[in-house]
Amino acid sequence: MKRMTFLLLVVAGLAGVVAFTASASRHQYQEATPSFVTEIPPGYRDWKLVSVAHEEGQLNDIRAILGNDVAIKTYRAGKLPFPEGTIIARIAWNYVPSEENNKIFGREQSFVPGEQPPWYLQFMVKDSKKYAATGGWGYAQFDKDGKPGPESDMKKCFPCHQAIKERDFVFTRYSP
């Protein structure tokens, strides 16, 4: 009877190991083919400037594009592709007239950042293995509360960036 109990425990234990292994490999599989980045890269607001832009229409935002050190180094060297570990950050703010500036300048000419839109933060993270399915780049979007963008929006990233594959899928050019 003792032997029977021992055998049962061994079987139960093995089943547990098998279950754990299956779970782990499923997890590894998920990590091997993700489409999106799920965490805000720390320290991005301290990164160096790549460029700026204004998008009209439904977006109607004004934006800054920053890069981590490897991104900036690659931009300045002008050599593609971007290496592993490159992260490019895009911060967008609502595009609003500055009444304060206009009053001082004496004319309507000044537009500045307002509140953060739902597409406040976007990131591209270079990891050729992890994001092999989307050109080696993981994509991310977060609102001002750190909530990731809806999957329906995120699915639009890569198809659009694919149009500039020859520039390693990166829209923004470096502004000196």
Q: Which residues bind a second copy (CB under 8 A)?
A: 45-49, 51-57, 59, 62-64, 66, 91, 93, 95, 98, 100-101, 104-105, 107-113, 116, 160, 163-164, 171, 173, 175-176
Q: Which is nearer to a second copy, 66 or 87 (CB)?
A: 66
Of the candidates 92, 150, 145, which has an alpha carbon nearest to the alpha carbon of residue 122? 92
Nearest approach in angstroms of CB 101 to a second copy is: 6
Q: Which is nearer to a second copy, 115 or 151 (CB)?
A: 115
Nearest approach in angstroms of CB 44 to a second copy is: 10
Q: Give phi and psi for 51, each to the nearest 5.
A: -170, -175
Q: Which is nearer to a second copy, 40 or 59 (CB)?
A: 59
Q: Which is nearer to a second copy, 132 or 160 (CB)?
A: 160
CA dist 7 and 94 (Å) reads 66
Cα–Cα distances (Å) from 156 to 46, 105, 148, 153, 160, in that order, read 28, 41, 14, 6, 6
Nearest approach in angstroms of CB 124 to a second copy is: 15
Of the candidates 127, 170, 123, which has an alpha carbon nearest to the alpha carbon of residue 146? 123
Nearest approach in angstroms of CB 114 to a second copy is: 9
Which tokens belong to 154? Answer: 């995120």
